[in-house]
Structure 1
C-alpha cells in the first residue's frame, strides 16, 4: 500500500465523521460538516498529486480514488435528502448515476478490464458538485437550479468515461 492509496483510504474514514457532524446538534454544524467535506476534497487533490509526482499510480488507486469520491458524495447527498435540502428526483438522479459508476467500475476492475483514470471533465464535475453542496448546505437561493445543471453535466461526463473505457479496452485486446 503506497502513500497515495493510504491518503485515499483516509477519505473513506471522513464519511462517517461528516455524517456524525451533519446530524449532530453542534453549534455551526453545517460549517463543520462542510469543513470535513473540504478536507475530503483536499485529500483527493493530495493523493492524486502524490501518485503522479512519485510515479505511484496503481490500478488499485485508479479504482479506489473515484470510489472514495462517490461514496462521500452519496453520503452528503443522502444527508441533504434526509434534511430536505434536495428533492427526491434530484437525489435519485445523483444516486443512480454514482451507483452505476461504482458498480460498473468494480465489475470491470474485477474482470481484469482497464479502468479509465479521472479526466478533466470528471474533476470539473467534482468541483461543480462541491459548489452545489456549498450552495445547498448554506441555503443559497440558486442552489437547486445549480445542482440540476451539475447533474446534467455529470451524466455527460459519465458518457465520456464510457466511451473512453470502450476505446481503452478495445486497444488492449
Structure 2
C-alpha cells in the first residue's frame, strides 16, 4: 500500500525544497523574496501534513522520525542564512540556531547509535518552529515588530533545547 509512504515522500520533498528555496531567493530575476517565502510556506505545509497523516493513520516510521526533523532544520537554517546574507536578520540569530541544531543532531545521533532511540518532536520544538515561521514572515513582509517576534523565536528555540537536554539526560541515565 503506497499510502503509508506519503509522510516520508512529503519529508523527502521538503528536503528537495531547500535548494529550490535558496535558488529562488538568491537567483530570481527580480530578487523577489515573495516566491522564496511561498516555497518556505509550502515546506511548512508539508511538515504539518506529513505529521498529521503519519499520526492519524499510524504511518510513523524510523525514517520519518529521524529525517523529518532534519528536513525542518535544513529549511530553517537555509532561510535564516539567506535572511542573514541579505542583512534582514542579525548574524547572532543564525548562529544561535546553528549551535542549537548541531547540539540536537549530535545528541540524536548519539541516542540512536547507543540505544536505537529517536526522540520525536515535542510541544516546545513545535512551538519554536511555528514562532520561527511567523518571525520569518514578519521579517520578509517588514512588520514593525518583526525583531521582537524573532527574539521570541530565539527564546523558544533555547527553551526547546533545554527541554531536549532534560529528555536526553533522562534517557542516558
Please say if 1:106 is aligned against 2:109.
yes
Point out 4+ residue stretches in structure 1 off by more than 6 angstroms.
none
Distance 2:48 2:68 in 1: 10
Instruction: Select 1:90's aligned residue among 68, 89, 93.
Output: 93
Which residues of 2 match residues 1-173 of structure 1 at below 5 A? Answer: 2-27=5-30, 29-168=32-171, 170=173
Worse overlay, 123-132 or 149-158: 149-158
Return the offset for 1:169. 5.3
Aligned-residue Cα RMSD (Å) equals 1.8
Return the offset for 1:103. 2.6
Return the offset for 1:99. 2.1
Distance 1:24 1:138 in 2: 19
Return the offset for 1:2. 2.6
Worse overlay, 26-35 or 125-134: 26-35
Mark the runs of 5 or more structure 2 residues left unpaired by the alignment: none
Contact kept? 1:8, 1:65, Cα under 8 Å: yes
Contact kept? 2:127, 2:156, Cα under 8 Å: no
Return the offset for 1:27. 4.2
Q: How many residue pairs end up in the alignment? A: 170
TM-score normalised to structure 2 length: 0.89
Mark the runs of 5 or more structure 1 residues left unpaired by the alignment: none
Distance 2:67 2:8 in 1: 8
Return the offset for 1:133. 0.2
TM-score normalised to structure 1 length: 0.89
